[in-house]
Every structure is written in structure tokens, then in C-alpha cells.
Amino acid sequence: MPATLNVIFGPCGAGKTTYAHALARRENAVPFVLDEWGARLFGPDVSGPIEFGWMLERMARCNALIWSTASAVLTAGTSVVLDIGAMRRADRERVRQMAEAEGWSLKWHFVDAPQEVRRARVASRNTAKGETFVMEVTPEMFELLEGVYEAPTPAELEGAVLNVSDHGGSAAPGEALAEALN
């Protein structure tokens, strides 16, 4: 079976990282999670509240490094799972074009939940600092990301794997689907 470029997308707090790691385990793929790379590479340099412009500049560098590494992994014949944001339609279109240009098999995975559920998950993650905690997402950052996020069009969802939670429950985001994937 040819290597697949799996791309996870959805709004902040939807459970993308939990889902990405479960999918990578199931598919024996290499996960690339932008927030994890950013925290590892730049987290030690943060001495106070994160400035949005500072973060965007560094996330762009991480994305470039992730893409070059993921490209090499795909070329070697191993599937990858990208959790790199892809919050805007233009971002997703760029991914689609890159995959098409390289001849990669592309599979989209949309992860979502209602805004109030996602906001509560982010607050809980900030407090618990558990397995998927990488950095604090303040209420202001959450609102800023809500303004950046563009919901997918019906055409973008055609053929995508959908993981949409309609409730908060006590489960971690993406947990039910992560269990189903294992």
C-alpha cells in the first residue's frame, strides 16, 4: 500500500492531537504535531506571556521543517499524520496542491466539537497539563484562533474522515474515536 499523507484539521480544542496520535499508532505512521515541535524548539525561550506575532513566526519555521521531514518520510514509503493547524481554507488548499504536485495519496481528517465544549476542553487542558498539554492557550488566544479558523466547505469534507463530537462529557477530546482507532 502506498504511503499516505493524513492531514488533521479543525478548530482549537477539538481533539486533533489526541486523534492524530491514535491514527498514527493505528496506521503505523509518523506523527508530526506542530504544537509539540514548537514547544520543544521554542518553549525554553519563552519567559512570559506568548506574543501572537512571535508565535506565528516560529510556527512558520516549524511548519517548513515539518514539511521537509514529512516529505522525506513519505518519499521513503512511510505514511505520515500531520497536525499542523490548517485552520484556513487557503492553508488546506496549499496542502492539497503540495500533495498533488508530489503525487502523494492525501486523506483529510476533520475533528470538531461545539465551541463551548472546545473552550471547556482547553481550560481543562490548561489546568491539568496532561499528556496533550504543550502550552497554555489563554482565553484571548482561543478567541483569536476562533477568528482565524475557517470551517470547511462541503467540497472539503467530501471523502474526509469526520470526527465531530456534539457533547463534552468527561472523555478527553478525540478519546472515543481514538479508542475506536486502536
State the pLDDT at residue 174: 47
Q: For residue range 14-41, list pLDDT tens digits in order.
A: 989 999 999 999 999 999 999 888 888 8
Give the CA dihedral 121, 43, 130, 20, nearest 10 degrees.
70
Look at residue 181 and tell me whether its pLDDT is greater than 70: no
Give the whole-angstrom CA distance, residue 1 versus residue 161.
19
Look at residue 168 and tell me whether its pLDDT is greater than 60: no
Tell me what percent of the residues of the chain surpass a pLDDT of 70: 86
Q: Which residue has the higher pLDDT, 125 or 99?
A: 99
Report yes or no: 145 and 12 within 8 Å, Cβ to Cβ.
yes
Is 4-181 assigned to CATH 1.10.150.120?
Answer: no
- Which residue in 68, 164, 64 sits closest to 115, CA to CA? 164
Q: What is the mean pLDDT of the chain?
A: 85
Look at residue 4 and tell me whether its pLDDT is greater than 80: yes
Classify residue 72 as left (phi > 0), alpha (psi -120 to 50) or beta.
alpha
Cross-strand pairs, 108: 7
Q: For residue range 103-128, list pLDDT tens digits in order.
A: 999 999 999 999 899 999 888 887 77
State the pLDDT at residue 166: 67
Look at residue 70 and tell me whether its pLDDT is greater than 70: yes
Look at residue 96 and tell me whether its pLDDT is greater than 70: yes
State the pLDDT at residue 88: 94
Every domain of the chain and the residues it spans = 4-181
Look at residue 64 and tell me whether its pLDDT is greater than 90: yes
Cβ-proximal residues to 88 (8 Å cutoff; 6+ apart), any chain: 148, 149, 150
pTM score of the predicted model:
0.83
3-state secondary structure the chain: CCCEEEEEECCCCCCHHHHHHHHHHHHCCEEEEHHHHHHHHHHHHCCCCCCHHHHHHHHHHHHHHHHHHHHHHHHCCCCEEEECCCCCHHHHHHHHHHHHHHCCEEEEEEEECCHHHHHHHHHHHHHHCCCCCCCCCCHHHHHHHHHHCCCCCHHHHCCCEEEECCCCCCCCCCHHHHHHHC
Look at residue 180 and tell me whether its pLDDT is greater than 60: no
Give the whole-angstrom CA distance, residue 133 versus residue 137.
10
Out of 5-14, 69-78, 115-124, pick the least confident. 115-124
